[in-house]
Structure 1
């Protein structure tokens, strides 16, 4: 029996593909994807930006890249902003030791 270990590149790709699948599943679950594609998006951007984004996301088509990028943006949480807004909510003299 031959056991093959994943290379760093294969592991990164596997993680990226799994993350992409989860994002798209979540977008479908909340109704952002799955309906009729009625909207056309057009714009001019540097080719290097598109290629770098495709490479990082491990997608090949412009449409897949747009769906993934827009889904991520639409689903993005506001954790950072909420955390900053809480500044000062916890009393400075509170004992956080367990």
Structure 2
């Protein structure tokens, strides 16, 4: 019997679901999730945008998509901006071993 290997799509789905779970766990651990759902959010956005986001992050419900998206925004660490902001902060005479 041949060994079944996961396809790229299955791997992408597993990776996305693991990332999603980690983001939601982190949001829960800092108190952003877990409380009663007491706020309703509504707005008009293109349906293609919603479907593309659901497909990319492998979620099926609008609520799950909103929780994930808002958690990602709330937990964003601004690493890129901080890294660029450090440009030129290392003195030229420091040996970086390169």
**Same-fold status (TM-score > 0.5):** yes
- The separation in 2 between residues aligned to 1:9 and 1:49, in whole angstroms, is 20
- The separation in 1 between residues aligned to 2:69 and 2:22, in whole angstroms, is 13
**Structure 1 residue ranges without an equivalent (≥5):** none
Other-structure match for 1:6: 6
Other-structure match for 2:72: 72
Other-structure match for 1:89: 89
Other-structure match for 1:58: 58
Other-structure match for 1:17: 17
Give every structure 1 segment of 4 or more consecutive aligned residues whose post-TM-superposition deviation is greater than 6 Å: none
RMSD: 1.2
**TM-aligned CA deviation for residue 3 of structure 1:** 2.2
Q: Aligned pairs, how many?
A: 98
- The separation in 2 between residues aligned to 1:85 and 1:46, in whole angstroms, is 35
**Structure 2 residue ranges without an equivalent (≥5):** none
**TM-aligned CA deviation for residue 2 of structure 1:** 4.7
**TM-aligned CA deviation for residue 94 of structure 1:** 1.5
- The separation in 1 between residues aligned to 2:20 and 2:30, in whole angstroms, is 16
